[in-house]
Amino acid sequence: MEHLKAEIREYLSKTDNERIQYIKENRWIGYPRAKYVFDKLEELMLHPITHRMPNILLVGDTNNGKTVIVDRFQKTYPPVTREETGVLEIPVILVQAPPIPDEKRFYNSILDRLGIPHRINDRIETKQSQVLHILRHLNTKLLIIDEIQHILAGSTSRQRTFLNVIKYLANELRISIVGVGTKDAMNAIQTDSQLANRFEPIHLPKWQMNEEYLRLLASFEYTTPLKKPSNLIAVETATIILGMSEGSIGEISKIVKKAAVEAIRTGEEKITKSVLKSLDWRAPSERRTLSNKMI
């Protein structure tokens, strides 16, 4: 059972359904690029307060791990109540940009995320004041805005207004902001030269056939409770998975999980080429093409 981590081996004594349930759960894999992003986010948290705080723009293709990373980082800085003061602090807040660049919706998202009662139709000035007051009170240091490419869904005027909101919050609160999105997010931020200078871009590239990719597959195998070694790092198997996933870590994870479940259900107990080829699976580009034909 050397193909499994010690704590995973105990799952081999559980029922097939229990193992399948475990496999389907989300699990963190700390690969090097994710650790690099974590370190950059940590630098923002430790940065002394200045007039212009540093910011990050995390960009990458859909389903390539961006949201998983920032969500994981947020959980490393959970809300805490200081014993000496009894004051609640929320150092990191993660919100999603509204579907269109709308200032009021954005403020509502922040308040909803924090569970703060508010009237949806209050004036923007009221919302703004409420958000500023609350984030100061909570001693928030990092505001993460996911799906920031949504800015481009609005008119030029709306885009400019929304970007001004981001600048205003950063300046008034003296906090760092992390934008997260697809490559379009870069275009969104660069429409404002001042913001573009403040945001350090970090790219999450697609996975390629290299040592880092093989280590990722080894990590998946090490934490997947199958009774037999799958040897996912074998060139042919790794190549099949890479082709099916088109280099997206989210897709790689789904493929390994589906294949592992199939291996248990069939009694194969390892992920083989035949198991992979038996999956009801379409690559992301195939799904997009099929979706476009149905529209």
Residues 98 and 191 reside in one and the same domain = yes
- Give residue 190's pLDDT: 85
Is residue 294 in some structural domain? no
Residue finishing a domain among 204, 233, 248: 204
Q: How many domains does the chain have?
A: 2
Is residue 191 in some structural domain? yes
Q: Degrees (nearest 5) of the Cα angle 93, 96, 99?
A: 155
Residue finishing a domain among 170, 204, 238: 204
Is residue 120 in some structural domain? yes
Residues 42 and 59 reside in one and the same domain = yes
Tokens of 71: 């969500």
What is the pLDDT averaged over residues 147-162? 92
Which residue do the tokens 């592992």 mark? 260
Q: With beta carbons less than 8 A apart as the criterion, state whether 245 and 251 touch.
A: yes
Residue finishing a domain among 150, 169, 204: 204
Residues 238 and 110 reside in one and the same domain = no
Residues 256 and 269 reside in one and the same domain = yes
Residues 200 and 276 reside in one and the same domain = no
Does residue 165 have a pLDDT over 90?
yes
- Give residue 295's pLDDT: 57
Residues 87 and 227 reside in one and the same domain = no
- pLDDT tens sequence across 21-71: 999 998 899 899 999 999 999 999 999 999 899 999 999 999 999 999 999
Does residue 84 have a pLDDT over 80?
no
DSSP-assigned letter for residue 47: P
Share of the chain above pLDDT 70, in %: 98
- Give residue 158's pLDDT: 92
- Give residue 288's pLDDT: 82
More confident residue, 112 or 191: 112
Name the least confident of 123-137, 151-165, 236-250, 277-291: 277-291
Residues 105 and 174 reside in one and the same domain = yes
Residues 171 and 243 reside in one and the same domain = no
Alpha-helical segments (H) within the chain: 6-9, 16-24, 32-46, 66-76, 103-114, 124-137, 156-173, 184-190, 193-198, 211-222, 235-245, 249-266, 273-278, 284-294
Give this prediction's pTM: 0.92
Residues 60 and 23 reside in one and the same domain = no
- Give residue 2's pLDDT: 81
Is residue 256 in some structural domain? yes
- Give residue 91's pLDDT: 97
Is residue 117 in some structural domain? yes
- Give residue 294's pLDDT: 64
Is residue 215 in some structural domain? no
Residues 54 and 177 reside in one and the same domain = yes
- Give residue 87's pLDDT: 85
CATH number at residue 97: 3.40.50.300
- pLDDT tens sequence across 208-264: 999 999 999 999 999 999 999 999 999 999 999 999 999 999 999 999 999 999 999
Is residue 216 in some structural domain? no
More confident residue, 96 or 82: 96
Does residue 292 have a pLDDT over 80?
no
Q: With beta carbons less than 8 A apart as the criterion, state whether 188 and 201 touch.
A: no
For residue 95, how many other CB atoms are within 10 A of its CB?
Answer: 19
Residues 142 and 266 reside in one and the same domain = no
β partners of residue 71: none
- pLDDT tens sequence across 96-147: 999 999 999 999 999 999 999 888 888 999 999 999 999 999 999 999 999 9
Is residue 209 in some structural domain? no
Residues 244 and 180 reside in one and the same domain = no
Could you list the residue range(s) of the whole structural domain that residue 252 is in? 6-27+223-289
